[in-house]
């Protein structure tokens, strides 16, 4: 049978729901701790990637078109916009970072041959690979790395990722293949944040500007842009001169298919090879039992949540936000709408993380308590049943992603739950790019999506989402002590010394309730067994798509 080894722990055995949930709570805590302590100076061997391990650097026989599916538009192809997973998988195949955390939560050099971190954590030296070409034929040099990091860390350029470069003072390029980053302060998240930022072709980017670059990128990745239609599809073609060897598969295409049922049919009929965004859980479980598919099951780091605009008068009081959370039956949402394959969130950090704190206060479902808290906060029911205070209705609009069939039912159920305590939540839809822009700018009330309120399973830093200056601070949340803890946490490398800071940080998050945090999902991503060379037993989701250049298609599709 094809890919029998790959399927041995990924759903080939039939699991009942209880067994499945037991696997869900097993995480990458130990792996995260070890990786956080490691400071490699050479490219590590990495985990067992199966057939992929022997494919790097060689041009394998193959060809064909591999089709992935996404649930929302690919609004940008700039490295600054790789937060949404559907954009990430395209951006990271067009571009390459200097280093990154791979699908085993291990730091791995990519554009760097080696790197060194000074004992005091204030100097990073990266020795770049020579002969790496951009898609336009220009050779990668240290000038491109310096330009990229300098551009996106400059507040004047309004980059979403500016907070990732906290502590970077200056960047030197003593020669064409050496980059030296001088820090003004230690940043323990450096490798997971700015060192992982994908590199752009400096001269080209400077010429056309960031806005134009979003639609016409040039990177050093295994695939180059062929055609981009944001709401329809993105098509990439193999880069013949890719520094790790020409990809075996000629074309990677991501089709935008919001409807879960249509994505499921496309997979089952062979019209698609993978869905880069999870299907409805029941469909994923169906594919787990299908011998034609491999379904990766990895602990999720992102919270399914309602980001709330904390600057709105009706949502600015944390007593109100706490009451809203008490009004939600989160376990029912998981059981009825997510087939039980998630955990109620009690922190901004996933239970799979070493830094997770398991003794925090929990917001049990208690609509009577929610109503009493709203009464105490001065919100009383009006003639129409909707609470009001000082002429302000306790009403807001939640804008969900257009066509999001999986999460829209959650919003509809929450709408009913909130109405039972006199809160009016209206529903609207918009493209994801509009939602992200609106939440960042504070012009939108609320939304519903998954996002990571830390960096990843290894790195707990939430600067982007919880710091006052964070580029993805969707809640417009501002707390001086939270800012202090985030800044202090970046300056300590040892996990044991860092943990007390993140313990307090989590306590503030739970007490302030900047968003309505629902659940941590188990990430279920399906692959057709037509794809050969998939990594074996990955512990992190999405990053395995960066191995696409080493995969082949059986029958060449």
Which pLDDT score, from 0 to 100, does residue 7 have?
Answer: 28
pLDDT of residue 15: 37
Whether the per-residue pLDDT at 40 is higher than 50: the answer is no
Instruction: Say how far apart CA 142 and CA 175 lie, in whole Å.
Output: 7
Which CATH number describes the domain made up of 299-521? Answer: 3.10.105.10
Tokens 């050099």 correspond to what residue?
A: 109
- What's residue 299's pLDDT? 81
What confidence category does residue 406 fall into, taking pLDDT thresholds of 50, 70 and 90? confident
- Is the pLDDT at 540 greater than 90? The verdict is no
pLDDT of 513 strictly over 50: yes
b/e map 335-370, b = 16+ CB within 10 Å: eebbbbbbbbbbbbbbbbbbbbbeeeeebebebebb
436, 442 Cβ separation under 8 angstroms? no
Beta strands in 129-286 (DSSP E): 168-175, 178-183, 223-229, 233-238, 251-256, 274-275
Count of C-beta atoms within a 10 Å radius of residue 286: 16
Per-residue CA distances from 61 to 50, 64, 362, 479, 556 (Å) = 17, 11, 55, 56, 9
Give the least confident one: 335-344, 384-393, 439-448: 335-344
Q: Is the pLDDT of residue 53 over 60?
A: no
Q: Is 152 exposed, middle or buried (0-12, 13-18, 19+ CB in 10 A)?
A: buried
Q: How far is CA 421 from the centre of its chain?
A: 33
Does the pLDDT value for residue 376 go beyond 80? Answer: yes
pLDDT reading at 50 higher than 50: no
What pLDDT score was predicted for residue 56? 34
Ordered DSSP codes for 112-140: EEEEEE-TTS-EEEEEEPSS-B-TTSPBP
Structure tokens at 265: 């049919």
pLDDT of residue 405: 84
The larger pLDDT score, comparing residue 299 to residue 110, is at 110
Q: What is the pLDDT of residue 408?
A: 94
**Is residue 245 classed exposed, middle or buried when 0-12, 13-18 and 19+ CB atoms within 10 A define those classes?**
middle
Mean pLDDT in residue range 417-437: 96
Whole-angstrom Cα distance, residue 418 to residue 371? Answer: 10
Residues 283-295: pLDDT tens digits?
999 999 999 999 9
Q: Which of 74, 75, 78 is nearest to 213 (CA)?
A: 78
The confidence band for 60, taking pLDDT boundaries of 50, 70 and 90, is: very low
Res 12: pLDDT: 29
The neighbour count for residue 384, using CB atoms within 10 Å, is 10
**How far apart, in whole angstroms, are the C-alpha atoms of residue 35 and residue 12?**
29
- Tokens 């999870």 belong to which residue? 278
Q: Which of 51, 39, 59 is nearest to 123 (CA)?
A: 39
Residue 377 has pLDDT above 70, yes or no: yes
Residue carrying structure tokens 């109503």: 371
Q: How far apart are CA 217 and CA 495, in angstroms?
A: 37
Question: pLDDT, tens digit, for every residue of 92-108?
Answer: 999 999 999 999 999 99
Report the alpha-carbon distance of residue 133 to residue 135 in Å, rounded.
6
What is the helix (H) or strand (E) element at residue 450, kind and residue range? Answer: strand 449-451
Question: Over the Cα atoms of the chain, what is R_g?
Answer: 23
Structure confidence at residue 301 (pLDDT) = 84
**Which residue, chain included where needed, has tokens 């055609």?**
227
Q: How confident is the model at residue 352 (pLDDT cuts 50, 70, 90)?
A: confident
Of 539, 526, 200, the residue nearest 352 (C-alpha)? 539
Please state, rounded to an integer, the average pLDDT across all residues of the chain. 89
Tracing tokens 């940008």 back to the chain, one arrives at: 76
CA distance 23 to 46: 23
H-type alpha helices, 26-62: 29-37
- Determine the pLDDT at residue 16: 39
Alpha helices in 311-430 (DSSP H): 318-326, 330-332, 367-376, 408-419
Q: Residue 19: pLDDT above 80?
A: no
Mean pLDDT of 149-169: 95
For 15, 190, 496, the CA distances from 39, given in Å and listed in that order, are 38, 11, 16
Mean pLDDT of 25-48: 35
The torsion defined by the Cα of 112, 113, 118 and 124, in degrees rounded to 10, comes to: -20
Q: How confident is the model at residue 33 (pLDDT cuts 50, 70, 90)?
A: very low
Question: What is the reported pLDDT for 109?
Answer: 96
Give the per-residue pLDDT at 5.
Answer: 28
DSSP conformation letters of 61-117: S---EEEEEESS-----SGGG--SHHHHHHHHHH---SEEE-TTS-EEESSEEEEEE
Instruction: Using pLDDT thresholds of 50, 70 and 90, give the confidence band for residue 51.
Output: very low
Question: What is this structure's pTM?
Answer: 0.80
* Every domain of the chain and the residues it spans: 38-273+530-556, 299-521
The tens digit of pLDDT for each residue in 334-345 reads 999 988 889 999
The CA distances from residue 390 to 80, 309, 385, 418, in Å, are 42, 19, 16, 20
**pLDDT of res. 183:** 96
Tell me whether residue 157 is exposed, middle or buried, using C-beta atoms within 10 angstroms of its C-beta: 0 to 12, 13 to 18, 19 or more: middle
Question: Is the model more confident about 55 or about 125?
Answer: 125
Q: Is the pLDDT of residue 42 over 60?
A: no
pLDDT value at position 442? Answer: 96
Q: How far is residue 387's CA from residue 16's CA, in Å, rounded to a whole number?
A: 44
Residue 552, number of CB atoms within 10 A of its CB = 22
Q: Which overall architecture, per CATH, does domain 38-273+530-556 show?
A: 3-Layer(aba) Sandwich (3.40)
Residue 232 confidence (pLDDT) above 90:
yes
Of the candidate ranges 42-46, 83-87, 193-197, the one whose mean pLDDT is the lowest:
42-46
**pLDDT tens digits, residue range 191-223?**
999 999 999 999 999 999 999 999 999 999 999
- Contacts with 368 (C-beta within 8 Å, 6 or more apart), sequence order: none
Tokens (6 digits) for 157: 């350029």
User: CA–CA separation, 203 vs 373, rounded Å?
Assistant: 57
Residue 31 has pLDDT above 60, yes or no: no
Tell whether the model's pLDDT for residue 499 goes beyond 50: yes
pLDDT in the model for residue 391: 93
């Amino acid at each position: 049978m094809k890919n029998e080894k790959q399927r041995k722990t990924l759903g080939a055995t039939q699991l009942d729901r209880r067994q499945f949930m037991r696997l869900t709570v097993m995480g990458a805590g130990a792996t995260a701790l070890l990786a956080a302590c490691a400071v490699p100076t050479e490219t590590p061997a990495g985990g067992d990637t199966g057939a992929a391990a022997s494919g790097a650097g060689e041009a394998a026989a193959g060809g064909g078109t591999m089709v992935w599916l996404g649930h929302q538009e690919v609004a940008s192809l700039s490295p600054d916009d790789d937060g949404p997973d559907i954009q990430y998988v395209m951006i990271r195949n067009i571009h390459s970072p200097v280093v990154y955390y791979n699908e085993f939560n291990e730091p791995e050099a990519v554009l760097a041959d080696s790197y060194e971190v000074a004992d005091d954590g204030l100097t990073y030296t990266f020795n770049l690979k020579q002969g790496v070409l951009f898609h336009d034929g220009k050779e990668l040099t240290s000038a491109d790395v310096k330009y990229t990091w300098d551009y996106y860390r400059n507040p004047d350029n309004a980059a979403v990722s500016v907070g990732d470069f906290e502590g970077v003072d200056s960047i030197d390029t003593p020669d064409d293949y050496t980059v030296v980053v001088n820090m003004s302060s230690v940043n323990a998240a450096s490798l997971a944040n700015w060192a992982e930022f994908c590199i752009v072709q400096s001269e080209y980017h400077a010429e056309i500007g960031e806005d134009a670059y979003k639609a016409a990128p040039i990177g050093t990745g295994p695939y180059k842009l062929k055609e981009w239609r944001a709401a329809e599809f993105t098509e990439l073609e193999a880069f013949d001169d890719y520094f790790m060897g020409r990809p075996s598969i000629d074309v990677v295409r991501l089709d935008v298919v919001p409807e879960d049922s249509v994505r499921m049919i496309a997979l089952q009929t062979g019209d698609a090879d993978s869905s880069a965004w999870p299907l409805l859980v029941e469909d994923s479980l169906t594919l787990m039992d299908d011998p034609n598919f491999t379904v990766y099951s990895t602990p999720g780091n992102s919270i399914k949540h309602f980001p709330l605009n904390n600057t709105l008068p009706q949502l600015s009081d944390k007593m109100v936000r706490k009451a809203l959370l008490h009004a939600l039956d989160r376990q029912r949402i998981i059981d009825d709408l997510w087939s039980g394959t998630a955990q109620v969130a009690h922190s901004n950090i996933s239970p799979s993380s070493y830094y997770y704190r398991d003794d925090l206060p929990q917001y049990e479902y208690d609509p009577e308590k929610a109503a009493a808290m709203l009464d105490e906060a001065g919100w009383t029911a009006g003639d129409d049943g909707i609470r009001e205070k000082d002429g302000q209705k306790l009403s807001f609009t939640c804008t969900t992603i257009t066509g999001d069939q999986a999460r829209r039912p959650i919003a509809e159920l929450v709408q009913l739950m909130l109405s039972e305590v006199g809160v009016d939540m209206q529903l609207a839809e918009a493209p994801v790019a509009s939602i992200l822009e609106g939440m960042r700018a504070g012009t939108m009330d609320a939304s519903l999506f998954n996002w990571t309120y830390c960096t990843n399973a290894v790195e707990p830093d939430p600067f982007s989402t919880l710091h006052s200056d964070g580029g993805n601070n969707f809640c417009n949340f501002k707390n001086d002590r939270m800012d202090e803890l985030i800044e202090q946490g970046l300056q300590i490398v040892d996990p044991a010394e860092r943990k007390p800071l993140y313990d307090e940080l989590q306590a503030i998050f739970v007490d302030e309730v900047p968003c309505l945090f629902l659940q941590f999902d188990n990430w279920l991503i399906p692959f057709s067994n037509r794809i050969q060379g998939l990594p074996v037993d990955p512990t992190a989701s999405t990053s395995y798509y960066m191995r696409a250049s080493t995969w082949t298609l059986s029958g060449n599709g």
